[in-house]
Amino acid sequence: MSYFSAYTTLSPAKKASIIIAILALLYSIGGFVVAPALIKSKAPAIIAEQLGRKATVEQVRFNPFALSLTLRGFELADLDGERFIGFEELYVNFQLSSIFRRTLTFAEISLTAPDGLVKVLPDGSLNFSDLITKSNQSEPSQAQSSELPSVLISQLRLERGRFTFRDLSLPTPYEETFFPIQLTLNNFSTRKDRQSAYSLTASMGEGAVIS
């Protein structure tokens, strides 16, 4: 007996169970395998086309059941090839409750070891001036008649951040680094009627701490 003939003899409940199992399997393959591969292969090319800078990402993981996305080893290069911005890991956990709340809701967004480099070049321009130019040259978006959707993030964390400022326009180049930068936000919301508890610490070295 063929598989199709055997299937036709099953009860409606068993047929429905088989269909659901197949759909769940396809959904799993698409989420765990296909989506990460597409993001890893396409995202750097799209960023390079839009920003004119080389971008790389080492690993992409997506859990279609938890609706969580993890990016590891992201780097965006400066025009001279030096590292401009990057991070060790970005984790985003989206919530289906957004549908009922009419609010983009995230259980957690965490950014581990992000870093950025701002340089004043010898001619006085900034190392990201080209990005500002591209932004100004892009077509202005049409005015939105409705307000932007509200956002709710139960836990927002930034750990081991590093920010470096370098001025090459001075006779003696100047450089300052802030590390580590720690930021935590609980129940962060963009709604005007809500307040969010937060804390921020940053170290400038030599015992200088901003909190």
DSSP string spanning the chain?
A: --HHHHHHTS-HHHHHHHHHHHHHHHHHHIIIIIHHHHHHHHHHHHHHHHHSS-EEEEEEEEETTTTEEEEEEEEEE-TTSSEEEEEEEEEEEE-TTHHHHTSEEEEEEEEES-EEEEEE-TTS-BTTHHHHHHHHHSPPPPPPSSPPPPEEEEEEEEEEEEEEEEE-SSSS-EEEEEEEEEEEEEEEE--TT---EEEEEEEEETTEEE-
Quick check: 132 pLDDT over 90? no
Residue 146's pLDDT is 54
pLDDT at 145: 46
CA atoms of 116 and 118, how far apart (whole Å): 7
Share of the chain above pLDDT 70, in %: 83
What are the φ and ψ backbone dihedral angles of 63, each rounded to 5 degrees? -105, 105
Return the domain boundaries, the chain: 3-134+148-210
Q: Across the chain, what does the average pLDDT equal?
A: 85
pLDDT tens per residue, range 37-81: 999 999 999 999 999 899 999 999 999 999 999 999 999 999 999
How would residue 111 be classed by pLDDT, with cut points 50, 70 and 90?
Answer: very high
Which pLDDT belongs to residue 185? 86
- Alpha carbon separation from 136 to 76, 79, 131, 132 (Å, rounded): 20, 19, 9, 6
pLDDT digits (tens, 9 = 90+) for 143-176: 454 566 788 899 999 999 999 999 999 999 999 9
Residue 2 has pLDDT above 90, yes or no: no
In whole angstroms, what is the distance from residue 61 CA to residue 90 CA? 10
Higher pLDDT, 145 or 180: 180
Does 114 score more than 90 pLDDT? yes
CA distances (Å), origin 85, targets 57, 201, 210: 12, 20, 22
pLDDT at 136: 77
Q: What is the pLDDT of residue 60?
A: 96
